[in-house]
Amino acid sequence: MGAAGSGKTTVGRALADGLGWPFVDADDLHSPSNIARMRRGVALTDADRAPWLAAVHDRIARAIDRRERLVVACSALRQAYRDVLRGRLRTIRFVYLRASEPVLRARLEHRRGHFVDETLLASQLATLEEPVDALTVEAALPVERVVEIVRVELGL
């Protein structure tokens, strides 16, 4: 979890690949209308996010029901969003990729082909509630080091 540009997808894919687990990018579960709003630089409201968060939760719950392991990249910026994602699924662990605004801005300025760009960064940071129940890792570290820290700290 983390703000746009923190490396959620890159780290999540690398972690999943290294573990041989499936990977889900929660961005792929957004509705077309949410994607269109974000492309226009319009921040989502909690009402916009609610069906998306429910879809991400459902995908996680299906994996747990099947006794599958899964890595999910999701912004999950507020505690309330993380609560929806977790629901009654107590085995979920969150990893917060913490990054400074300059790091995030630089990454987003060079990102191409994604519907979230630097125009939404201010709203992302305003929404962000740093978690108290997550493993926090500095996103500016090399991807391989972030993955190593996650694997060691979570016993993977």
d(CA 19, CA 30): 26
Four-point Cα dihedral 95, 101, 102, 103, nearest 10: 10
Place of tokens 């977790």: 86
pTM of the model: 0.89
pLDDT digits (tens, 9 = 90+) for 1-40: 999 899 999 999 999 999 999 999 999 999 999 888 877 8
How far from 90 is each of 63, 64, 86, 109, 156, CA to CA, in Å?
13, 10, 7, 37, 17
Domains within the chain, CATH numbers bracketed: 8-153 (3.40.50.300)
Q: Are 77 and 130 in contact (CB under 8 A)?
A: no
